[in-house]
Amino acid sequence: MAEPWVERFPGLARLEGDTKKRLLTRSTIREIPEGTVIFGPGVSPEHMLFLLEGKVRVQQVSDTGHEIVLYRIHAGESCVLTTACLLAFKDYAAEGIAESNVRAALVPRVEFDDLVATSSSFRGFVFAAFSKRITDLFQMIDEVAFQRTDVRLADRLIELSEHQDSVATTHQTLAGELGTAREVISRQLREFQRRGWIEQSRGRIELVDRRQLARLASQKA
Amino acid sequence: MAEPWVERFPGLARLEGDTKKRLLTRSTIREIPEGTVIFGPGVSPEHMLFLLEGKVRVQQVSDTGHEIVLYRIHAGESCVLTTACLLAFKDYAAEGIAESNVRAALVPRVEFDDLVATSSSFRGFVFAAFSKRITDLFQMIDEVAFQRTDVRLADRLIELSEHQDSVATTHQTLAGELGTAREVISRQLREFQRRGWIEQSRGRIELVDRRQLARLASQKA
DNA sequence: AGAGTACGGTGACAAAGTCACCGACGCGTT
DNA sequence: AACGCGTCGGTGACTTTGTCACCGTACTCT
């Protein structure tokens, strides 16, 4: 394509020309097929990740078998967790999974470190990403602890639908999204259906009345 | 005292001599009285914080009035949140409160940035702190979402007791610690008392059978 | 001493999580 | 076509947790 990928990152476009050039020349573009475990317990990444296309789901699977989705990384975002891991040599408890085919720019550890050392604006980018991630986690803790599940479910349905009018997912998967039980999801969805907001079929949910769903979801502060 | 404070930080003692010297000469020691709001909505810190003595409680107060303690910073630790905020100019939703009289070394923003730029080992320290904080938050999300409150309460009681045999706190405050309701705490404490693990009086809880409490708390993986 | 507030107790109920079990559907194989 | 099997979703009973309204008592301040 005509435009180099750096320009499409809100935070990176502001970098000095020299820094951009280094990012471009020292990174490699890689295609990652859907379903790939990008990082996780035992899988330590060697590169910092800039997502050009696709989505990465970061989730936690506890030893009790419980599951919860922590956040997603979309095109135009970088994965700070990878960064933290890169520089601190720490394994994390969470795992990152390519939710679709992904195209990403990979910056090797040394280059990353060098960029942080030499470019003040790159430092700004990295720390802003950390800051964003941490405040998002705070928000998430608040929601898990205090938000009603119907509100969270409505919100997640809308988010997952991505302007389509239906979502291809199972009750079990939705439970994993919100960190709750399948039965709870089933009950809530039955109620949504009773109100005429959705239609259900096996492995699929049609958003019939998106407005009402959004109204409920908006309660989440 | 004879030994400079840098030596008492596990992660900082490994720094190059020059970096240590810079940290020492460009930082100022400040005493912060108990109860001071160190940072929070609208209170942006101007310095990075290294805790020499005391404790800082970081908690979130949501608009619904719900409250939850996110983590604590103890002597020998630094506050990465402050750091993130420093470099990203972002307000956070959480607030940090001096839980006791605090002595801390303050490093101004510019000096911090300079240190990150020039010292590779200081970068390592900072990113390790970020990494630790983020993985701790993951752990916390897991606990809030999936852990039984009796287990969490037992754990917190032991943590708060700090080798004393009693804890000076109210049910309401404990509810704020765990992000639950006072009534829930009261019920759990009543049950603990029934089992002979604790004794209660107004604003105080005696840990009678610490071993049993610890046994319950240990279930939290 | 009196007022006001913080603290904790209680009962009733709603929401959410757990457990055990069941039928139906989809998809292979034979 | 018939079978077997795993996934998907439904259900009822029960436990745990959260919410609400209200109460009495202890402490503090003046």
- Contact check, Cβ <8 Å, B146/A63: no
Other CB atoms within a 10 A radius of the CB of residue A7 amount to 13
Give the closest residue to C11 (Cα–C1′). Answer: B183
Q: What pLDDT does B27 receive?
A: 96
Question: Phi/psi of residue B113, each to 5°?
Answer: -60, -40
- Residue keyed to tokens 């989730």: A59
| pLDDT (mean) for B91-106 | 92
- Contact check, Cβ <8 Å, A139/B66: no
Protein-covered nucleotides on strand D (Cβ within 7 A): 7-13, 16-21, 26-27
Q: How do the pLDDT tens digits run along chain A, 221 residues long?
A: 568 999 999 889 999 999 999 999 999 999 999 999 999 888 888 899 999 999 999 999 988 899 999 999 999 999 988 887 777 767 778 999 999 999 999 999 999 999 999 999 999 999 999 889 999 999 999 999 999 999 999 999 999 999 899 999 999 999 999 999 999 999 999 999 999 999 999 999 999 999 999 999 988 66
Q: Is A60 near chain B, with CB under 8 Å?
A: yes
Q: pLDDT tens digits for B44-62?
A: 888 999 999 999 999 999 9
Query: Residue B125 carries which side chain, given as an amino acid letter?
Result: F
Say if residue B93's pLDDT is above 90: no
Q: What pLDDT does A184 receive?
A: 98
3-state secondary structure of A52: strand
Task: Name which of A4, A88, A142 is nearest B63 in CA terms.
Answer: A142
Which residues of B are less than 8 Å from A92 in CB distance? 131, 134-135, 138
Q: What pLDDT does A100 receive?
A: 95
Q: pLDDT tens digits for B53-88?
A: 999 999 999 988 999 999 999 999 999 888 877 777
Q: What pLDDT does B89 receive?
A: 67
Give me chain B's average pLDDT, please.
Answer: 93
Tell me the Cα Rg of chain B: 19
Q: What pLDDT does A44 receive?
A: 82
Footprint on protein of nucleic strand C, Cβ below 7 A: A 148-150, 179-181, 183-184, 188, 202; B 145-146, 170-172, 182-183, 186-187, 189-190, 200, 202-204
| Residue A67 backbone class (left: φ over 0; alpha: ψ -120 to 50; beta: rest) | beta
Dist CA A137 CA B71 (whole Å): 13
Q: Which residue of A has its CA nearest to B71?
A: A138
Asked whether residue B148's C-beta has any atom of DNA/RNA strand D within 7 A, the reply is yes
Asked whether residue B161's C-beta has any atom of DNA/RNA strand D within 7 A, the reply is no
Q: What pLDDT does A2 receive?
A: 67
Q: pLDDT tens digits for B103-162?
A: 999 999 999 999 999 999 999 999 999 889 999 999 999 999 999 999 999 999 999 999
Distance of CA A215 to the CA centre of its chain: 24
Q: What pLDDT does A69 receive?
A: 98
The shortest C-alpha distance from B215 to chain A (Å) reads: 18
3-state secondary structure chain B: CCCCHHHHCCCCCCCCHHHHHHHHHHCEEEEECCCCEEEECCECCCEEEEEEECEEEEEEECCCCCEEEEEEEECCCECHHHHHHHHHCCCCCEEEEECCCEEEEEEEHHHHHHHHHHCHHHHHHHHHHHHHHHHHHHHHHHHHHHCCHHHHHHHHHHHHHCCCCEECCCHHHHHHHHCCCHHHHHHHHHHHHHCCCEEEECCEEEECCHHHHHHHHHHHC
Q: Is-contact A218 A148, C-beta < 8 A?
A: no
Query: Which residues in chain A, range 107-166, keep a C-beta under 7 Å from any nucleic strand D atom?
Result: 145-146
Copy the structure tokens of residue A56. 């990465």
Q: Is B110 near chain A, with CB under 8 Å?
A: no
Dist CA B66 CA A221 (whole Å): 12
What is the Cβ-side half-sphere exposure of residue A139, based on CA atoms within 13 angstroms? 12
Dist CA B32 CA B102 (whole Å): 5
The shortest C-alpha distance from A187 to chain B (Å) reads: 19
Asked whether residue B67's C-beta has any atom of DNA/RNA strand D within 7 A, the reply is no
Protein-covered nucleotides on strand C (Cβ within 7 A): 6-12, 15-20, 25-26
Asked whether residue A182's C-beta has any atom of DNA/RNA strand D within 7 A, the reply is yes
Q: Is B62 near chain A, with CB under 8 Å?
A: yes
Distance of CA A96 to the CA centre of its chain: 9
Q: What pLDDT does B1 receive?
A: 58
Give me chain A's average pLDDT, please.
Answer: 93
